Structure 1
């Protein structure tokens, strides 16, 4: 399947929003915090999963502060939790073309695709991407979530991840 078919219009809009945010912030790469911010703007299920209005407001506040100071320490650096080699910065044509993506963001997109595949979904959902973003404890998205007090999100998303793992185990038998 091509990326548009796998992502669908909603997630394609999230990716486009993350790309615009990175350019506007003057960042060399799209990172997991850009994806998280765009995901929260575009997906009501993700907003609901994050928690109630106080948590969501605090989280959006941290994400907005990113471009006015909080994230300035990230400018010019590459988000890499150590799991992947650094990717070159270039114009991004699509999610499978990961040039211009931080290694952690590229890994999150790949993980979201795998989560959709394991649940036999035809499209990646916002929850798939959110679960993927929270699975890397060294990512900028997780750092922002923790600073906003959203620490139990991976545990709340765990039942879906557990279902995916059980389906993968069943296929191997």
Structure 2
């Protein structure tokens, strides 16, 4: 069966990793969005901030975690600023928070690859099936030194309680 996600060439610097194998349609769309965002931003790797931005755009359950007091609007506004210039300070660097030991996967930062793998494990523990957006979100914010957490903090949203809430939501 062929994938609906367009594959990037090696010339783009974002070779398609095995990380998107076995994903459900929702998370495949998130990965495709993160890949497009990374390419558009001139980044060599998909990082946790790209995944966070794509999750917020395409996953209603993840957006629902930020639905109080204008938090979602603040966060999306910050992410738009990042995509039009703020992220330049990260361009050309590899996101590696050091929190997890993950073999470098072409096209993915070590932190993003680790979050994706842990999200798959969470889905397996839940009873199988593909990882969902909430599984991935919980893993993105579980690493306090990830770019996703940095984005949340700079947007004034923060993550207190978010990993536990996301895990509780995803286990339903």
Does TM-score exceed 0.5, indicating one fold? Answer: yes
- Give the deviation of 1:84 after TM superposition: 3.2
**Equivalent of residue 148 in structure 2, options 141, 160, 163:** 141
Pair 1:59–1:108, CA change in 2 (3 A): same
Note the residue ranges of structure 2 that are not aligned, 5 or more in a row: 1-17
**Equivalent of residue 127 in structure 1, options 105, 123, 134:** 134
> Whole-Å Cα distance in 1 between the matches of residues 109 and 93 of structure 2?
10
Report matched runs for 1:40-79 at 5 Å: 40-52=56-68, 54-79=70-95
Report matched runs for 1:1-173 at 5 Å: 6-52=22-68, 54-82=70-98, 83-84=100-101, 87=104, 98-153=105-160, 155-158=161-164, 161=167
What's the RMSD between the two structures over aligned residues? 2.4
Pair 1:99–1:44, CA change in 2 (3 A): same
Note the residue ranges of structure 1 that are not aligned, 5 or more in a row: 88-97, 165-173
> Whole-Å Cα distance in 1 between the matches of residues 43 and 153 of structure 2?
22
Partner of 2:24: helix, strand, or coil? helix
Partner of 2:93: helix, strand, or coil? coil
> Whole-Å Cα distance in 1 between the matches of residues 32 and 151 of structure 2?
21
The answer on whether the counterparts of 1:22 and 1:29 sit within 8 Å (CA) in structure 2 is: yes
> Whole-Å Cα distance in 2 between the matches of residues 143 and 4 of structure 1?
24
- Give the deviation of 1:161 after TM superposition: 4.1
- Give the deviation of 1:159 after TM superposition: 5.3
- Give the deviation of 1:119 after TM superposition: 1.1
Partner of 1:29: helix, strand, or coil? coil
> Whole-Å Cα distance in 1 between the matches of residues 93 and 19 of structure 2?
28
- Give the deviation of 1:68 after TM superposition: 2.0
> Whole-Å Cα distance in 1 between the matches of residues 19 and 91 of structure 2?
28
> Whole-Å Cα distance in 2 between the matches of residues 135 and 32 of structure 1?
11
Structure in which a larger fraction of residues adopt helix: 1
Q: Deviations 1:87-144 (Å, cap 9, x if unpaired)?
A: 2xxxxxxxxxx31100000001001001111111312111001001001111000000
